[in-house]
A = this chain, B = another copy of it.
Amino acid sequence: MTSIPPRISPPKRILMGPGPSDVEASVLAALAAPTVGHLDGVFLKVMDELQQMLRAVFRTQNRLTLAVSGTGSAGMETCVANLIEPGDTMLVCVNGVFGGRMADVAARCGAQVVKLERPFGDIFTPEEIEAALKEHRPKALGIVQAETSTGAHQAMPDIARLAREHETLVVMDCVTSLAGMPVEIDEWGIDAAYSGTQKCLSCPPGLSPVTFSDRAVAALDARQKKVQSWYLDLQMVKDYWGSNRAYHHTAPINMNYALHEALRLTLIEGLEVRWARHQHHHRALAAGLEALGLGYAVPATHRLPMLNAVKIPDGIDDATIRRQLLEKFGLEIGGGLGPMKGKVWRIGLMGATCTATNVLICLAALEQVLLANGLKVPAGAGVAAANAFYATPAA
């Protein structure tokens, strides 16, 4: 260590990658509010209100609904580690990076993992899941509603119903979907779900909203062995969030402030309005991207509105385009993950990022850098198509 680095001064980006998304000024202000103690009555009230608002956003009455003190992957591990004991069978649907991650987590928890696999970008049919439930009789089914690596949307109601019929607990990844499209924990009958703060909630990363149904809590209570993670053990974590207020670990106070404000903004807008906003600007962006000749990695039948994975045209270098967008416009889009690395861009329209302004600047900037890199795109076509969509009365 020869010298002390200068104070940071990060630039203001337009965050159109797979998360984090843009953060509203009032959320950053809440993040910087004075730190109080983790057992201070002021903070305990923040926790109570957070739980209420998380229940509203998850559309659930589940008592065990809280923010895990880690990012989305910690939420995934919380759900799996609390429900799985060594030797339990877990059926995990893998059609992208995050399904694959859940299978890895389950194996580390000692599960007999049965993977149901589909190529990246595909989704599963209720029939094939039912067949696997019949064959393997798993304790839990792990499935990703919104696969952040591919932009594919897995419809959940039929699958959750089948799982309940087979007395299998449903663990759902809604990291990218929550607050950007319908997530109906109680109506669908989801047993455990986890999300992240830095996607459609537009809060900085650092916490993972999690909810457990009564059925999942009963499974937790019936465990023979302790949860293998002390930090993520919900039996203890819920005693801190519940009326006991038993000290477990020191919660990330200021991150919880920020999530409180992000949830407030979400509920003030209204969930249905927010879901419709995501769908609306997604359609405008999709019209523009297709007019520029960029094709989606998944068919229109199961595209996520907030995560648009488009194929990189032949002859165009992934990293060059992303770097130029960042340098010239402060605009971040995401690259591909796993087998899609170098093959797709992931363009996010999440939470505060999801605006007409960002749709238009993204299309205009993409056009400029693609042209500059020798791709013959029809000049002005992207913006024109988006504007045509916005001008349509039905839009």
Contact = CB atoms under 8 A, between A and B. Distances in A.
Interface of A: 1, 4-5, 7-13, 15, 17, 19-20, 22-23, 26, 28-38, 40, 42-43, 46, 49, 52-53, 55-56, 69-74, 76-77, 101, 104-105, 107-109, 196, 198, 204-206, 226-232, 247-255, 257-258, 260-261, 264, 267-268, 326, 332, 334, 337
Contact of A20 (B26, B35, B49): B35
Contacts of A76: 230
A55, A109, A198, most chain B CB atoms within 10 A: A198
Contact of A37 (B17, B108, B247, B267): B17
A257 B10 contact: yes
A231 B194 CA distance: 14
Contacts of A227: 108
Q: Which DSSP category, helix, strand, loop or mixed, fits chain A's interface? A: loop
Given A77-B230, A206-B252, A268-B4, A15 B35 contact: yes
Contacts of A13: 34-37, 40
Contacts of A326: 40
A73 B35 contact: no
A30 to B, nearest CB: 6
B5 A250 contact: no
A53 B8 CA distance: 14
Q: Which 10 A-B pairs have the closest CB atoms?
A: A206-B252, A32-B32, A1-B56, A73-B249, A204-B254, A5-B49, A28-B32, A205-B250, A12-B34, A105-B230
17 contacts: A7-B26, A8-B30, A10-B43, A20-B37, A20-B38, A28-B35, A36-B332, A38-B205, A69-B70, A71-B251, A109-B228, A198-B253, A206-B252, A229-B229, A247-B337, A252-B255, A255-B255
A7 B38 CA distance: 18
Copies of this protein chain in the complex: 2
B32 A15 contact: no
B108 A252 contact: no
Contacts of A72: 249-250
A10 B31 contact: no
Contact of A8 (B10, B71, B261): B261
Contact of A34 (B7, B10, B32, B33): B10
Given A71-B69, A73-B231, A8 B251 contact: no
A53 B3 CA distance: 9
A1, A34, A255, most chain B CB atoms within 10 A: A34
B53 A5 contact: yes
Nearest to A55: B1
A206 B28 CA distance: 16
A264 B40 contact: no
A261 B228 CA distance: 34
Contacts of A231: 70, 73-74, 77, 232
A326 B36 CA distance: 11
A373 to B, nearest CB: 20
